[in-house]
Amino acid sequence: MDSKIYTKLSIMMFLQLFVWGAWFVTLGSYLSKIGFSGSEIGTAYLTNNIGAIIAPLFVGLVADRYFAAEKVMAVLHIIGGVVLYYISDLTTTSAIITGLLIYNACYMPTIALSNAVSFYQMDRPDEQFPKIRVWGTLGWIVAGLLITFVLATKIENVEATSIPMKMAAIASLILGLYSLSLPTTPPQNKDKKITVGDALGFETFALLKDKSFAIFALCSLLISIPLAFYYAFANLFLNELGMQGVVAKMSLGQVSEVAFMVLMPFFFRRLGVKWMLFVGMFAWVVRYALFATGDMDSLSWMIYAGIILHGVCYDFFFVTGQVYVDKKADKKIRSSAQGFISLLTYGVGLAIGSSLSGRVVDAFSHDGIRDWSSIWMTPAVIAGVVALLFLLTFKENSDKENSEKPA
């Protein structure tokens, strides 16, 4: 892969996650400001999870068979940008949620498409893809910094406005046009018959006969339920707690994600798959307990520690999980297996969590005052139960597990 293609793909990945990070983090605070209840905020985030369920169907049944990936990306980002900008001026609950559903149905397939465009240009994806993917994390970080250090200086309480959505919409339009300049990525399954089951990764069901993989799949789904609490309500919580420059400070989580990604080979050699996965799950327990206990006075370190733990929470479970699936699945169904786990986590698990989180927030809200300590202890307990279930039931042959550790 020459430097010109590397630069093009890096810019693509930067914009891809810049768009997501620009609106996703602040949405809860904005919706709360215009009168959404906790359940309605949860439903708004649920549209993102529905998009994650739709994505493999669209990519597998349409994009991979009939059209070049970069052209599909262009169309989806342009349509998505227009829809998101339109949503930013709406105020009614049903209209915003419907609009977000349409937008996420456009955006979520572009994640797989951007990966497909990248992988098609690589001859050594294990080495080259992380160098491209890190630009996506940087894009998410920059979106947060831009909101905090540029927009916030001109617009009071910008995180509780629709301005971040407008910024994301404009970036989406730019990325849509930019996608037309990307290297051509022809449809990968043009002459292959693909079923709905294939697109959703159902051929992975054969792997579920393996007890270890079945437990991993189940725990992946279950641990994603408490995760949704953070994505939907962390920004609102930190704003109500009195933190200044919330979006920028939340991006410390993405900084730690990059740091722990670099350190993962070191931890793999010493911990192995099982303990890496367990530490990733248990980190969510610690994170939520810190949020439930901390404040912005003498215990402010707890809040910052909870944010920075994102690197452990995400890398140790999700990235390790991807490595585990890659080693466990036969080459013929490897992509299908990854898609199936993504469906369980980003689709089904987070969908359940988004719905549940809103109901929990409403249950612990009285006269407009939210009992955040009780709210955060709920996902902490759920994550703790799942982590314990995993620790007690997941068993992997030590010799095989050792062979799965990356060098």
Mean pLDDT value across the chain: 88
Counting the structural domains of the chain, the total is 2
According to the model, what pLDDT value does residue 407 have? 37
Instruction: Say yes or no: 239 and 172 in one domain.
Output: no
pLDDT (tens digit per residue) in 118-160: 888 888 776 788 788 889 989 999 999 999 999 988 998 899 9
Instruction: Say yes or no: 97 and 2 in one domain.
Output: yes
Instruction: Say yes or no: 175 and 224 in one domain.
Output: no
pLDDT (tens digit per residue) in 1-23: 788 999 999 999 999 999 999 99
Q: Is residue 377 in a domain?
A: yes
Q: Among residues 123, 152, 183, which one ends one of the domains? A: 183
**Which of residues 269 and 305 earns the better pLDDT score?**
305
According to the model, what pLDDT value does residue 405 have? 44
Q: Is residue 45 in a domain?
A: yes
pLDDT (tens digit per residue) in 195-237: 666 656 666 777 888 899 999 999 999 999 999 999 999 999 9
pLDDT grade, residue 76 (50/70/90)?
A: very high
CA distance 50 to 117: 23
pLDDT (tens digit per residue) in 329-370: 777 666 667 778 888 898 899 999 999 999 999 999 998 899
pLDDT grade, residue 191 (50/70/90)?
A: low
| Predicted confidence (pLDDT) at residue 390 exceeds the cutoff of 70 | yes
Q: Is residue 230 in a domain?
A: yes
Using CA atoms, how far residue 349 sits from 43, 55, 182, 216, 220, in Å, is 14, 15, 33, 13, 8
CA distance 85 to 81: 6
Instruction: Say yes or no: 179 and 307 in one domain.
Output: no
Q: What residues have CB less than 8 Å from 45, skipping those under 6 apart?
A: 27, 28, 228, 231, 232, 354, 357
CA distance 229 to 231: 6
According to the model, what pLDDT value does residue 43 have? 95
Cα Dmax for the chain: 63
Instruction: Say yes or no: 133 and 230 in one domain.
Output: no
Residue 393 CB-density burial (10 A; 0-12 exposed, 13-18 middle, 19+ buried): middle
**Which of residues 299 and 339 earns the better pLDDT score?**
299
Q: Is residue 298 in a domain?
A: yes
| Predicted confidence (pLDDT) at residue 97 exceeds the cutoff of 80 | yes
Instruction: Say yes or no: 265 and 333 in one domain.
Output: yes
Q: What residues have CB less than 8 Å from 366, skipping those under 6 apart?
A: none
pLDDT (tens digit per residue) in 308-325: 999 899 888 888 887 888
Instruction: Say yes or no: 101 and 242 in one domain.
Output: no
According to the model, what pLDDT value does residue 198 have? 63
Q: Among residues 120, 155, 183, which one ends one of the domains? A: 183
| Predicted confidence (pLDDT) at residue 266 exceeds the cutoff of 90 | no
**Which of residues 212 and 116 earns the better pLDDT score?**
212
Instruction: Say yes or no: 238 and 375 in one domain.
Output: yes
According to the model, what pLDDT value does residue 214 have? 92
Q: Is residue 191 in a domain?
A: no
CATH number reported for the structural domain that contains residue 120 in this entry: 1.20.1250.20
pLDDT grade, residue 64 (50/70/90)?
A: low
Q: Can you give the residue range of the structural domain that contains 147? A: 1-183
**Which of residues 176 and 63 earns the better pLDDT score?**
176
Q: Is residue 23 in a domain?
A: yes
pLDDT (tens digit per residue) in 391-405: 999 987 653 444 444
Q: What residues have CB less than 8 Å from 191, skipping those under 6 apart?
A: none
Instruction: Say yes or no: 112 and 226 in one domain.
Output: no
Residues of the chain with pLDDT > 70: what percent?
90
pLDDT grade, residue 34 (50/70/90)?
A: very high
Residues of the chain with pLDDT > 90: what percent?
59
Q: Among residues 152, 183, 214, which one ends one of the domains? A: 183
**Which of residues 317 and 178 earns the better pLDDT score?**
178
Instruction: Say yes or no: 355 and 229 in one domain.
Output: yes
Q: What residues have CB less than 8 Å from 153, skipping those under 6 apart?
A: none
Instruction: Say yes or no: 173 and 218 in one domain.
Output: no
| Predicted confidence (pLDDT) at residue 244 exceeds the cutoff of 60 | yes
CA distance 316 to 155: 37
Q: Is residue 194 in a domain?
A: no
Instruction: Say yes or no: 177 and 241 in one domain.
Output: no
Q: Is residue 138 in a domain?
A: yes
pLDDT grade, residue 41 (50/70/90)?
A: very high
**Which of residues 402 and 166 earns the better pLDDT score?**
166
From the CB of residue 46, how many other CB atoms can be counted at a distance below 10 Å?
Answer: 24
